């Protein structure tokens, strides 16, 4: 299999087959919290995609160029979480200074991302799956776009749901989780495209 083909498979795998939200249950908090309106969902999705791509790049370098040569693999979690927290801070400062337009669009979502489990999950899965450097970057982009897709679909459904008569006890989180279950059922249809 060619290198390009492998990258395509990693992308489809991360975005659709093993969707971060609907298969790995990562990033559920923003998925439930920020999926009330389409605009907010899009902003959150793009912010996550941006940070995921950066995280994949930086944590790959840290793990394979620093932790492994120094035999410090046990510091993996501490190192990753520190890298993600500082990365989010740096991105926030950089955007505020240099790209104010983008900062206004994404700014409020950025601090929320530090504790988004999808980001740390991405770094952990990247190590588990032994991805090469290009594969890790594609994994980050694919994972982020998959998250964006899932949260956009959810926001679209929830906007319509405003007009539906949901049983009182299920309003809010309950019905959102049940819809997520049905979405996950639909996304199971993607398994099999990449043959294991």
Partner 1 sequence: MKRNPGIIVDFTKGLWQDNPVFRQLLGMCPTLAVTGKALQGLTMGLAVTFVLVSTGIVISLIRKIVPRQVRIATFTVTIATFVTLADRFLAARFPAMSAALGPYVPLIVVNCIILGRQEAFTSKNPLLPSLFDAFGMSVGFTWALVVLGCIRELLAYGSIFGQSVLGTSFEPWVVMALPPGAFITLGLLIGLMNVIQKKKEARGKE
Contact between 164 and partner 1 per CB under 8 A: no
**Which of 33, 100 has the CB closer to partner 1?**
33
Instruction: Kindly write out the interface string for residues 112-151 of this chain, putting x where it contacts partner 1 by CB under 8 A and - elsewhere.
Output: ---xxx-xxx--xx--x-----------------------
Question: Which residue of 65, 188, 189, 193 would you call a contact of partner 1, by CB under 8 A?
Answer: 188
Conformational region of residue 26, where left means phi above 0, alpha means psi within -120 to 50, and beta covers everything else: beta
CB atoms within 10 A of CB 55: 27
Which CB atom, from 73 or from 100, has the smaller least distance to partner 1? 73
User: Which is nearer to partner 1, 4 or 128 (by Cβ)?
Assistant: 128
Tell which residue, 91, 96, 93, 88, has the closest CA to residue 115. Answer: 88
Nearer to partner 1, 3 or 162 (CB): 162
Which listed residue (2, 4, 169, 195) binds partner 1 by CB under 8 A?
A: 169
Give alpha helix (H) positions in the chain: 3-12, 28-33, 38-61, 76-98, 100-106, 110-113, 117-128, 133-161, 173-187
Question: Quick check: 30 and 112 in contact, CB under 8 A?
Answer: yes
Identify whether the C-beta of residue 114 lies closer than 8 Å to the C-beta of residue 88.
yes
Q: Which residues make up the interface to partner 1 (CB under 8 A)?
A: 22-29, 32, 74-78, 81-82, 85, 115-117, 119-121, 124-125, 128, 167-170, 173-178, 180-182, 184-185, 188
């Amino acid at each position: 299999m060619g290198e390009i083909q492998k990258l395509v498979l990693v992308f489809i795998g991360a975005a659709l087959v093993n969707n971060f939200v609907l298969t790995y249950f990562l990033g559920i908090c923003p998925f439930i919290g920020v999926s009330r309106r389409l605009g907010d969902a899009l902003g959150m999705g793009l912010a996550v995609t941006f940070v995921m791509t950066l995280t994949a790049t930086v944590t790959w370098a840290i793990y394979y160029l620093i932790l492994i040569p120094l035999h410090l693999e046990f510091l993996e979690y501490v190192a990753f979480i520190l890298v993600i927290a500082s990365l989010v801070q740096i991105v926030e400062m950089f955007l505020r200074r240099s790209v104010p337009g983008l900062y206004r669009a994404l700014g409020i979502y950025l601090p929320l991302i530090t504790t988004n489990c999808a980001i740390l999950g991405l770094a952990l899965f990247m190590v588990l799956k032994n991805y090469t450097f290009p594969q890790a970057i594609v994994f980050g982009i694919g994972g982020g776009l998959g998250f964006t897709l899932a949260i956009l679909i959810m926001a679209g459904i929830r906007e319509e749901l405003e007009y539906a008569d949901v049983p009182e006890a299920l309003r809010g989180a309950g019905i959102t989780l049940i819809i997520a279950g049905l979405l996950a059922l639909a996304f199971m249809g993607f398994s099999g495209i990449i043959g294991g």
